[in-house]
Every structure is written in structure tokens, then in C-alpha cells.
Amino acid sequence: MDVFRQQLTLFFIAMGFFTRIPMPGWVKVDGESLNKANRYFGLIGLLVGGICALVYEITRGFLPVSVSIIFAMIAGLVVTGGFHEDGLADTADGLGGGWSVADKLKIMKDSRIGTYGALALVMGLMLKFIVLSELALYNPDIVVTALIVGHTLSRVTAASLIFSQSYVRDDDSSKSKPLAQNQTVNELLILLATAVFVLWCSGLSGALYIAIGLVLLRWGLIYLFHRQIGGYTGDTLGATQQFAELACYLMLLGFSL
């Protein structure tokens, strides 16, 4: 029972970190528990994706599919507070506007949004909507699967960077919440097991290709972040989640054509 409570606590910590859903009052957060909670980041993606899919399913009963997709996207933003989108914008501003590593990190820490960040946000959200709308033209039901798979696998992809990369910003200098900074093999395996489970349950014929595509995307982003800043920050993990989510939708659309 103690083991179950411990794991439930870690899940709630992950939920409290990545969403606006309040944690139970008995949950206590510290650096060690936050590090351990990264094993459940994929499950949080499943939770968020499930909420988005539910909103889509409910609203498409009386609204056009395109409007239901917008409501599903809004639901995701409300549940997460735009947590990952903020990381995408900050990453775009930092990598696009800074010359030195110090400059890039300073810009990414700034809470104000710049031109690069605004462009990344607008283009990213618009592209998600267009791709999901195109998917719905072939099969409106597959949007449900896309939302669940996209949100889950993208968070698994982003969290997996913690295992192999170095954190390049001290928590004391960050404008954001504390961040998990290390990941054990067991935590990585639990994280990956979540992705395998969701892909297996999805029944997608291109599941293997989606997994391969995300591995290649992960390598590409690791190369980019390492060259630009020497590792990862909370913002680049958010950007990774956004890229991976969009990549899932694009690959599903490619299989549907």
C-alpha cells in the first residue's frame, strides 16, 4: 500500500507540474520527488490528450468538425496553461535572437515574447489546426486517436531528453518552476512503456513508423540544442513536446493520404 501511495503521489506531482489540475493537499513536492515524477510525464500526456479528445467527441455531435478541433485545442491550452507553448515561444526567441549561449539563455528566461516566439506560436497552432482538419476529412474518428497519441508520445519524447542530455540552467536563475534534471534507467523504461502501450492500444498501422519518426526527430533536436546552448532547458523540453506533437499529426496525415 505504501508503494501504491508513493507512485500515486509521483503521478499527482507530475500532474501538478504539467497541468492546471490541482494536486491533493496531502501531496508534498521536493526536488527528489519531482525528478522521480518524470516517469509519469507520458501518462500526463495521455490525460491531456484524453480531455482534448473528449471535448472533440462531445462538440462534434452538434458543431462542425473544424470548430470541434478548435475547441479541443483550446481545452489542451486551458488544461496545461499553455505550458509547452510558452517553451516553444521562448526557445524560438532565444535561439533566433541570441548570439552567444549566455544571450540565448537570457532571452529564453525573459517572460516577454518576441517576434520569433510570436511567429512560432502562430505558425505552430495554425499548422496543428490545419493538419487535424485535413485528417478529419479522411476520417473524423481518427482525430480522437491523433489527439491521444500526439499528446502522449510528444511528452514521452520531450521527457526522454532528460536521460541523455545535460541541464544548462540553474533553477535559481529560471523564471519557471523547478524542473526534473535527472532520469534513471527505470524511469526511462516506465516512460517508454507508456508510449508503447498507447501505440499498441491505438491500433494504428503506422505505429512503428511513428516511433521511428519521433526517434529521428529527437536526435535532430538534441543536435540542435547541443550546438546552440550545450544541452536542454525547461523551454527546450516544451519546444520538443510541441514539435513531436505536430510530427505525430503530420505522420498520421501522411499515412491517410
Q: What is the mean pLDDT of residues 60-71?
A: 96
Other residues' Cβ atoms within 10 Å of the Cβ of residue 24: 10
Distance (Å, rounded) from C-alpha 249 to C-alpha 257? 13
CA atoms within 13 A on the CB side of 249: 25
Query: Under a CB-based contact definition with an 8 Å cutoff, are residues 161 and 218 in contact?
Result: yes
For residue 123, give Cα distances in angstroms to 126, 130, 180: 5, 10, 29
Min mean pLDDT across 49-58, 63-72, 105-114, 245-254 is at 105-114
- Model-level pTM? 0.92
* pLDDT single digits (tens) 113-142: 899 999 999 999 999 999 999 999 999 999
Q: What is the mean pLDDT of residues 28-37?
A: 80
Give the amino acid at 200: W
Distance (Å, rounded) from C-alpha 215 to C-alpha 229? 21
Angle at 200 (CA atoms; ends 3, 257), nearest 5 degrees = 145
Distance (Å, rounded) from C-alpha 94 to C-alpha 88? 10
User: Sorting pLDDT into bands at 50, 70 and 90, what band is 44?
Assistant: very high
Question: Which is more confident, 150 or 29?
Answer: 150
